[in-house]
Structure 1
Amino acid sequence: MTLLHLPSESRELYAYRPRTEPAAHAGAPTTPGEPRRRVVYAAAHVVADPFRTAADRPAALDWEATLAFRRHLWSHGLGVAEAMDTAQRGMGLDWAGAAELIRRSSAEARAEGGRIVCGVSTDQLRPTGFGHPYDLADIRAAYEEQLAVVEEAGSRAVLMASRALAAVAKGPEDYLEVYGHLLRQATGPVVLHWLGPMFDPALEGYWGSTDLDAATDTFLEVIAAHPGKVDGVKISLLDAGREVELRRRLPDGVRCYTGDDFHYPELIAGDDRGFSHALLGVFDPLAPLAARAVRLLDDDDDDGDSGGGTGTGGVAGFRALLDPTVELSRHLFGAPTRHYKTGVVLLAWLAGHQSHFTMVGGLHSARSLPHLARAYELADRIGLFPDPALAAARVRQLLSVYGV
C-alpha cells in the first residue's frame, strides 16, 4: 500500500505506511455469546443524517446505520449502553431524539437477544439566560419522565449525572433526596453513573462536594440506603486508585463498571480482591478486539465474581491484547475529554460502519486534523480496521477536504 502523508501538530507532514492486511481480531466474531466472567457494555455513538442540518430538532439520525452499529456490538457479545454521553447526550442529541433512540434500540435488543441499558437524565430541562428556572421537584419529575420511557421500552436504566441537579443542589442532602426518590420508584435495579467534570465541566462538585472523599461517602450512602435497587455503579473519574478503593467499599452484589478510558485493562483484569466490569465509550471502536480480550478472562477466572483472574494464562493474554489499545484511547480522550466522540465517529467511518464523517450538532469539527490523523495511525497500528485499504482511502479523502 502506498504511503500516506499525515499532518503533525507542528504542521509538518510525515510519511506513514498503512497496514495491508487486517488483524485476526478485526473481522467477524469467532465465539458466540457474551463473556462469562465480566459484564461488558460499549457506550455506543449515533450516526447523524448527513442530509439534515446541525440545528434540526429533534436531532436527525440515520436510523438504519445507527441500529446496524448496535447489531455489530451485540454480534461480538458486548452489551449496548444506549443514549449516554457517547451518543452525544447534552452535546447535540436532545431528549426527543434520545427517547426515540431508546425505544428503537430497546426493540432491536429484544429482537437480537442483546443486552442493553439506557441513560436517564434531566436534559429536557433548559437553563435560561437568567439562570436555572427549576427546582428539585422539577428535576425529580424530569428524571421520572425519562425513567418511565426506559422502563416502558423494557430496558434497564442508567441514572446519569444531571447538570440541572449539579446547578441547583445545595449540598449532599439534595442528592440523597433526589436519588432516594428515584430508586424507590424504579421497578428494577438501576446503574448509577458518576461522571467526572473532565467529561462535563458542568458536573463539578457532583454528590454535593468538590472533595472527592466526601462525594464518595454520599454516593455510597445512596447505595447503602436502597439495598437491591442498584445493579451497579459506573465510575468515570479517570482515577484508577479511587475506583479500586470505591469498588472495595460497595455492598455485596453491586457491580463496579469502569468508565475509566485511561486505565481499563488493569481495572477489568483486577486483583485478588476484585475487579471492575466495563461500561466504556472506547469499547465502541474497540469492540472486536475488546470482546476477544475479555473472553480470555473466562479461561482464567473460575471463581465467579469473587476473584480477579490473577493466573498467567487468561489475564496475560487479555493484557497482551488490550494494553496496546491504551495509547489510542488516551489520545481519543485527551483534553478537552468531552470531545472524544469525534474520534469515535471518525474510526467508525474509517472502519466502514457508516458512509460519512458527519456528527449531530456539527461536532465532527471539534478536533483538529492532526488529532484525527493521529487517531487513524494509532488505530491502524493495532489492526483495528477490518479493511485497511478502505480506511486508508477514506483518510486520503479527509486529507483532500482539508487541502492536504
Structure 2
Amino acid sequence: MSALIASSTLRLPDAAGTLQTYRLGERPALFDATYAAPPATRSVFAAGHVVADPLAEIRDRGTEREIDWDATLAFRHHLWGLGLGVADAMDTAQRGGGLGWELARGLIRRSGTEARAVGGRLVCGALTDQLDPTRLWSAADLVTAYLEQVAWIRESGAVPVLMASRHLAATARSADDYLGVYDEVLRQADGPVFLHWLGEAFDPQLRGYWGSTDLDVAAETFLELTARHAARIEGVKISLLDERREVELRRRLPPGVLMHTGDDFNYVPLIVGDGAHGTDHSHALLGVFDAIAAPARAALARLDAGDSAGFAEILEPTVPLARHLFAAPTSAYKTGVVFLAWLNGHQDHFRMVAGAETQRSVPHLARVLVLADRAGALGDPELATERMRAFLRVAGVEA
C-alpha cells in the first residue's frame, strides 16, 4: 500500500509557485460502465478536440500533416462509444484558432465516414472562414461562403451548425444586416441546421453579434430569426455563460426547436431544468463534455431513470474543473481539455495545433489534474500521475 501511495503522490506547483503535496484518488467505478444506447431524455453532443501530429514541422501548419488523424478519429469513437453525439470542427477543435477551413473540410469528411460506420450522431460547424480575414466581404459573399460549408457538411452525412461569423461581425452595422445573411442561408439550406450564438467571452471579435452589445436587444433579433425559420432549425446552441438568459431564451423558442446549452459554467441546473422528464430544460452541446465524457454519460443515465438528484451528485463535482478550464481568457480552454485527454491516455503527447499547448501555465495545468481527480474524471490515476510527473520534470519541477 505504501508503494501505491508513493506512486500516486505528487508535489504540484500552485499559483504562487509553491509546491504542494497531492495524492490522487482511485479509479472511479463509473469508468467501468457500458452503454448500449444514447441518452433517452436529452439530446447531447460533446464538442471534440483534434489531436496534433507531434512530429509535424512548423511548415506543416495548416496542412493535413499537422493532424494525427488516427488519434483524432479514435477519440470520436470514444465519445460515440459512450452514446454521446459528436460536435466537430467547432471551437473545441481549434476552429478559428489553428484549424482553418481546409483542415476542417478533411476533419468533417473523415468524421462523417466514421459516424456512418457506427451510427453515431454528428453535427459540424459551418462558418465563412474560407474567406480572407483581412478584407471586408459583401452579404452575398458571406451567404455563398456559408452555403458552401453547409453543403460540404451535409454531403459528409452531418448536420450543419451555423456558427457566428467573424467576417459578418466585421461588416454588419445593424440587426437587419445579420438577419439578411441568415435569412438567405436558412432559406437555401437543404435540411435542418443548428444555430450557434457564441458570446464574446469565447471570441472577443464577436462583440455586438446580432447587431447590439445589449444582450437583451440581441436576444430579440436571435429569437426573431428562430421564429422565422423554425421549420429548418433543429436546435440552437447558446454559449453566453449566463444561466438566467439561457432559461429565458429557451422558454421563448418555437415548439420543436431544442435549446442545447453551451454554458460550461452552469450546465448542471440547465440540463436538469424543472425535472428529469419536464419540458423546461436544456439539452447539451458542450466543450467540457470532451473532458468529462464518462462522468457526463453516467450522470445522464441517472437522469434517464428520473433521478435528477443522482445526475447532480455525479456532475456537480465536475463544475470546479469546468470553471477552471474555461477561466479567462476563455478561448484558451482547449489547452486544458487536450492536457486532460493526454493524462487520460487518449493521446500519446501534449502537443496542439498551432502550438496552443503554451496558452496555459504550468500551475494552471497542475490545477487541472487536481480538479479532474476530485471530479472523478481520471480513468487511470496511475497513468495520470506518471504523465504529470514527466510534464513537471520537463518544466523544471521535481514532482
Name the residue aligned to 1:226: 229
Per-residue displacement from partner, 1:160-211 (whole Å, max 9, x unpaired)? 0000000001111111111111111111111000000000000000001101
Give the paired residue count: 386
C-alpha contact (below 8 Å) 1:156/1:189 kept by paired residues: yes
* Separation (CA, whole Å) in 1 of partners of 2:314 and 2:168: 40
C-alpha contact (below 8 Å) 1:293/1:322 kept by paired residues: yes
C-alpha contact (below 8 Å) 2:35/2:81 kept by paired residues: no
For residue 31 of structure 1, the aligned residue among 10, 28, 35 is 35
AA partner of residue 85 (structure 1): D
AA partner of residue 110 (structure 1): R
Secondary structure of the residue that 2:259 maps to in structure 1?
strand
Name the residue aligned to 1:380: 373
TM-score computed with the length of structure 1 as normaliser: 0.94
Name the residue aligned to 1:82: 88
Report deviation, 1:54: 4.7
Report deviation, 1:328: 0.3
TM-score computed with the length of structure 2 as normaliser: 0.95
AA partner of residue 339 (structure 1): A
Instruction: Report 1:99-248 matches (<5 A).
Output: 99-128=105-134, 132-248=135-251
For residue 71 of structure 1, the aligned residue among 62, 66, 77 is 77
Name the residue aligned to 2:266: 263
Report deviation, 1:296: 1.2
Report deviation, 1:53: 3.1
Tell me the percent identity.
58
For residue 47 of structure 2, the aligned residue among 43, 47, 72 is 43
Secondary structure of the residue that 1:5 maps to in structure 2?
strand
AA partner of residue 318 (structure 2): T
* Separation (CA, whole Å) in 2 of partners of 1:375 and 1:122: 33
Per-residue displacement from partner, 1:336-390 (whole Å, max 9, x unpaired)? 0000000000000000000000000000000000000000111112222221100
C-alpha contact (below 8 Å) 1:349/1:356 kept by paired residues: yes
Secondary structure of the residue that 2:289 maps to in structure 1?
coil
* Separation (CA, whole Å) in 2 of partners of 1:9 and 1:98: 36
Report deviation, 1:106: 0.6
Secondary structure of the residue that 1:221 maps to in structure 2?
helix
* Separation (CA, whole Å) in 2 of partners of 1:256 and 1:54: 40
* Separation (CA, whole Å) in 1 of partners of 2:237 and 2:376: 28
Name the residue aligned to 1:303: none
Report deviation, 1:31: 2.4
Secondary structure of the residue that 1:14 maps to in structure 2?
strand
Structure 1: which 4+ aligned runs deviate by more than 2 Å? none
* Separation (CA, whole Å) in 1 of partners of 2:147 and 2:256: 25
Secondary structure of the residue that 1:284 maps to in structure 2?
helix
In structure 1, the gaps of 5 or more residues are 301-313
For residue 393 of structure 1, the aligned residue among 386, 390, 396 is 386
Secondary structure of the residue that 2:87 maps to in structure 1?
strand
* Separation (CA, whole Å) in 1 of partners of 2:360 and 2:57: 19
Name the residue aligned to 1:308: none
Report deviation, 1:273: 5.8
Report deviation, 1:58: 2.1
Name the residue aligned to 1:305: none
AA partner of residue 356 (structure 2): L
Secondary structure of the residue that 1:9 maps to in structure 2?
coil
Secondary structure of the residue that 1:233 maps to in structure 2?
strand
Per-residue displacement from partner, 1:119-141 (whole Å, max 9, x unpaired)? 0001112222xxx2322122111
Name the residue aligned to 1:57: 62
Between 381-390 and 69-78, the greater mean CA deviation after superposition:
381-390
Give the alignment's Cα RMSD to 1 decimal. Answer: 1.1
AA partner of residue 69 (structure 1): F
* Separation (CA, whole Å) in 2 of partners of 1:247 and 1:224: 12
C-alpha contact (below 8 Å) 1:54/1:360 kept by paired residues: no
* Separation (CA, whole Å) in 1 of partners of 2:90 and 2:155: 18
Per-residue displacement from partner, 1:53-105 (whole Å, max 9, x unpaired)? 35522251100000000000001010000100000001011110000000000
* Separation (CA, whole Å) in 2 of partners of 1:257 and 1:32: 23
Name the residue aligned to 2:21: 15
